[in-house]
Each structure stands twice: as structure tokens, then as C-alpha cells.
Amino acid sequence: MKPAFIIVSVAFIIACLGLWLMMDVLRMLIIAYRPRDSGLGDFHLFCLHHAFWLLLLPLPVVCYSLITIVRGKVTVERFCTFASAVALVFVALLFTVLVCCLSAGLSISRL
């Protein structure tokens, strides 16, 4: 059961890195194809300016999994709770990044 915590943590790290790369590609596309005089919405600006937090978000997940492995008794209930919380956070992040990318893509294609 202990390797499962590490596997979920590594998967979350890779997923957050992928979301950060998507936001970086979106930033480059906006710089390349969007005219300077047209402004971005508040949601886009918020997502683009805070995308670097996607690289720091896995730190608490990794720390919790390591602490659980070292100190606590690893049970199926702890693992299910951990995996559910990580999945919930990832789905919320994925939805946010997809909405930001899709809405920016639609606004770029209208130009």
C-alpha cells in the first residue's frame, strides 16, 4: 500500500506539470496572435499570472504522502481519502485550465 501513495503523488506532479505547460503554451499563443490593443478578461489574466502555482501545488501532496508513509499506519481508508482529495483538486484545476484555454482560443479565432 505504501508505493500507492508515491504513485499517486508522482501522477499528480506530472499532471500539474502538464497543466502548467498548457498555460505556458496559451500565454505564448496570446502573445503571438492577440493584438496589443485588445484586452484580456480578468479570468484569463488571473489564470496566466498565477500559472506558476501549478508547479508548487504538488509539494503538499508529496509531503503528506511521505509523512503518511514514514509516521502513520497506512490503511486502505487513508489511501482512498488521499486519492479522492488529489483527484478532486486535479479535476478542479483541469476544468479551470480547459475553460481558460478554450475561451482564449475562441477569442483568438474571432480576430
Q: Do 111 and 38 touch, CB atoms closer than 8 A?
A: yes
Instruction: Pinpoint the alpha helices (H) of 1-111.
Output: 2-33, 42-49, 53-56, 58-70, 76-109
Please report, in tens digits, the pLDDT of each residue of the chain (111 residues total): 888 999 999 999 999 999 999 888 888 887 777 766 566 777 788 888 888 888 999 999 999 999 988 987 888 998 999 999 999 999 999 998 888 888 776 665 555
Give the CA angle between residues 83, 9, 16 to the nearest 5°.
100
Q: Do 54 and 20 touch, CB atoms closer than 8 A?
A: yes
Sketch the domain layout of the chain as residue ranges. 2-109
Q: C-alpha grid cell for residue 57?
A: 501545488
